Amino acid sequence: MVASRAVTTTELPLPLIDDIITRALAEDLGSGDVTTESCVPEAAQAVAHGVARKPIVVCGVPVAARVFLLVDASLRFTAKAEEGARASEGTTLWTVEGRAKSILMGERVALNFAQRMSGVATATRRYVDAVPKGCVTRITDTRKTTPGLRLLERYAVRRGGGHNHRNDLGSAVLIKDNHIVAAGGVRQAIEAARARAPHTSRVECEVDSLEQLEEALSARADIVLLDNMDTPTVEEAVRRTRGRALLEASGGITFERVAELSRAGVDAISVGALTHSTPAADIGLDFST
């Protein structure tokens, strides 16, 4: 059990998550909670339990805590589950106690964050667990995140056992298909990036054919992203590369392909679905007075 009024994690800096939460609360509360104000007594006290309705990988409890404490600093929040832990159906994830009106006003926003983040962590763990034993392939996210929630979703991927790809356009050089067209070709794009990027930066280039792979390797790309290639083509790409560059499989990656792509020998599999189409986890808030 983690008992604290201010449950936090160093991976989620308070100024940043407080900004996200404040905007979410303003969006939900609007000009006030007319239902709660009209029917709940001012002095009413309550205890509410955040409960997993189905098996999940827990994520977002510190964010739920901040929601309630930003609504009302007098509320008492107790985390009952560790971030990244598996929780079975019926597991209590947290308890919040205090003024009933305050708990009701924070309920939906707290659940929205916890459901979203636990959904991402749960999906990520499923993909990570699909990598066969003995394979060192990493499961990574992409920049296909919910606008404004990238910090939280990337954190959820890590709690699910995955790895983060570049955080933003300034984090790393990744030459995509449109860059290649604009630059005049694979070699031209890589050589231009190599000449202008900081000497500490690795250069990654997306390719969609074995011919482009050969060109990228010849231009000394550090990482090659194999875009929308079937498994036999990926296997041939691994054979041709012979360790000269890291290989990342990407594009339409489904859970069912993780094992075969890992066995093919790629270093990473990037999965946009982890953040752009993962369903929310089923978490509810059970109230008592």
One pLDDT digit (tens) per residue for the chain, 289 residues: 333 344 556 789 999 999 999 999 999 999 899 999 999 999 999 999 999 999 999 999 999 999 999 999 999 999 999 999 999 999 999 999 999 999 999 999 999 999 999 999 999 999 999 999 999 999 999 999 999 999 999 999 999 999 999 999 999 999 999 999 999 999 999 999 999 999 889 999 999 999 999 999 999 999 999 999 999 999 999 999 999 999 999 998 999 999 999 999 999 999 999 999 999 999 999 998 7
Q: Is 176 noted as a catalytic residue in this protein? A: yes
Catalytic-role residue among 76, 166, 176, 194: 176
In CATH, which superfamily holds the domain spanning 131-276? Aldolase class I (3.20.20.70)
Instruction: Name the burial class of residue 8, with classes exposed (0-12), middle (13-18) and buried (19+) by CB atoms within 10 angstroms of its CB.
Output: middle
For 2-128+278-288, CATH gives 3.90.1170.20
Catalytic-role residue among 144, 166, 194, 263: 144
The position carrying tokens 């969006």 is: 27
Domain ranges of the chain: 2-128+278-288, 131-276
What pLDDT does residue 288 have?
84
Q: Is 54 noted as a catalytic residue in this protein? A: no
Q: Is 206 noted as a catalytic residue in this protein? A: yes
Q: Is 144 noted as a catalytic residue in this protein? A: yes
Catalytic-role residue among 153, 206, 215, 248: 206
Catalytic-role residue among 108, 126, 194, 244: 108
- Where are any strands of DSSP class E within 23-91? 45-52, 56-57, 76-79, 86-87
**Same topology for domains 2-128+278-288 and 131-276, yes or no?**
no
What pLDDT does residue 289 have?
72
The side-by-side arrangement of strands in the sheet containing 45-52 is 2-3, 76-79, 92-99, 45-52, 283-288
HEC readout, 102-120: HHHHHHHHHHHHHHHHHHH
Q: Write the CA distances from 52 to 55, 57, 61, 217, 277, integer angstroms.
A: 7, 10, 12, 48, 20
Say what the pTM is. Answer: 0.94
Q: Is 133 noted as a catalytic residue in this protein? A: no
94 phi-psi bin (left φ>0, alpha ψ -120 to 50, beta other): beta
What pLDDT does residue 8 have?
57
Catalytic-role residue among 72, 177, 222, 227: 227
Structure-block tokens of residue 41: 């007594």
